[in-house]
Amino acid sequence: MADSKFVTFNNGQKYPNLGLGTWQSPPDGSVYRAVKGALENGYRHLDCAYIYQNQEEIGKAITECIEAGVLKREELYVTSKIWLTFYRKDRVPICLDKILKQLQLKYMDLILLHWPMSFEQTDDSLFPKDSNDKLIDGKVDFIEAYQALESLVDQGLIKSIGISNFNVEQVERLLKVARIKPVVNQVECHPYLNQEKLRKFCADQGIILTAYSPLGNPGSTYFPDEKKKDLLNDPVIVRLAQKYKKNSGQILIRFAIDRGFIVIPKSVRLERIISNLQVYDFKLTDEDLKELMSLDQNYRTCPFSLGPHLTNYPF
């Protein structure tokens, strides 16, 4: 991959600016086939998480591709995320150990704290709820979890660490005490939620934003929303797609890349996985970007609507 396909983190580590997202990719063989197809067709960055409950299949695909000579381990960049029931400092290493075993890896390229909140610290449930069906607040501060990640960097188990879904104030509070600076903040981002204030703030601190749901989460059944907006068919995006002889998805991926983001579109369909990678033969103009930026309407497809009562809820 040419250098234009990489970003450089604040610790000097290079990272591909386009990866395969694996959220809502079911572990029924489809995520295995998606990852295998992606790696065979040039992807070198996978975005995973403990909570997605599909990492065993991803690990199988990675191992098979490495053994078949498709790529070497050091050419692959794998991100995963610590889940909210593992935020106490003695539990963070347990979650990392599970992630490494599931993915069949000896080290992680990047580990993130998945959200700034925490749940009850338990092995009984990934979404522990009380008798009123309300999520139980773990009240473990993200600083504690982050410092546990710093120790795992010291041990050589993780190359880089970062955060996800943190707002400006939370990033600020973390930076006051962080010994190892987070390299990324992974957040929902697309033209309807352009995150410009957060991008500027993080850029000033040397932190890159990773855009999840960059296509506006079209296939999601996870957050039923009667008011769901169809970003892919927005007239501005459709017009730009025609202008560049690309599809809407490719325009939206380029929107992230041209703003300096890492971007992780998810798909389990091989033709879509391949087409999502075909974005390095064009670039949006400043005018295009300006027009796309003007579509912002603070529209979130992932508001974590079960969580506003939790300590450190970010929105």
pLDDT of residue 228 exceeding 80:
no
pLDDT of residue 308 exceeding 70:
yes
Distance (Å, whole) CA 237 – CA 289 = 11
Q: Which two tokens stand for residue 131?
A: 């008798």
Distance (Å, whole) CA 26 – CA 216 = 19
Distance (Å, whole) CA 57 – CA 63 = 10
So what's the pLDDT on residue 182? 99
In eight-state DSSP terms, residue 268 is S
In eight-state DSSP terms, residue 179 is S
So what's the pLDDT on residue 29? 87
- Asked whether 149 and 178 are in contact (CB, 8 A), the reply is no
How does pLDDT run across 261-299, given as a tens digit for each residue? 999 999 889 999 999 999 999 999 999 999 999 999 999
How does pLDDT run across 124-178, given as a tens digit for each residue? 999 999 999 999 999 999 999 999 999 999 999 999 999 999 999 999 999 999 9
* pTM, full prediction: 0.95
8 in helix, strand or coil?
Answer: strand
The verdict on whether residue 114 carries a ligand-binding annotation is yes
Per the annotation, the verdict on 52 as an active-site residue is: yes
User: Could you say which of 15, 32, 43, 52 is catalytic?
Assistant: 52
67 in helix, strand or coil?
Answer: helix
pLDDT of residue 2 exceeding 50:
no
Give the burial class of 276: count Cβ atoms within 10 A of its Cβ; 0-12 exposed, 13-18 middle, 19 or more buried. buried
So what's the pLDDT on residue 1? 42
pLDDT of residue 221 exceeding 70:
no
Q: Which residue has 């992974």 as its token pair?
A: 186
So what's the pLDDT on residue 25? 74
How does pLDDT run across 10-66, given as a tens digit for each residue? 999 999 999 999 987 777 889 999 999 999 999 999 999 999 999 999 999 999 999
- Out of 3.40.50.280, 3.20.20.100, 3.40.50.1820, 3.30.460.10, the CATH code matching 15-293 is 3.20.20.100
Q: Which two tokens stand for residue 292?
A: 């796309």
Phi first, then psi, for residue 259 (nearest 5°) are -100, 5
- Asked whether 57 and 113 are in contact (CB, 8 A), the reply is no
Distance (Å, whole) CA 80 – CA 52 = 10
Contacts of 22 (CB under 8 A, 6+ apart): 31, 34, 35, 46, 47, 48, 49, 52, 54, 58, 266
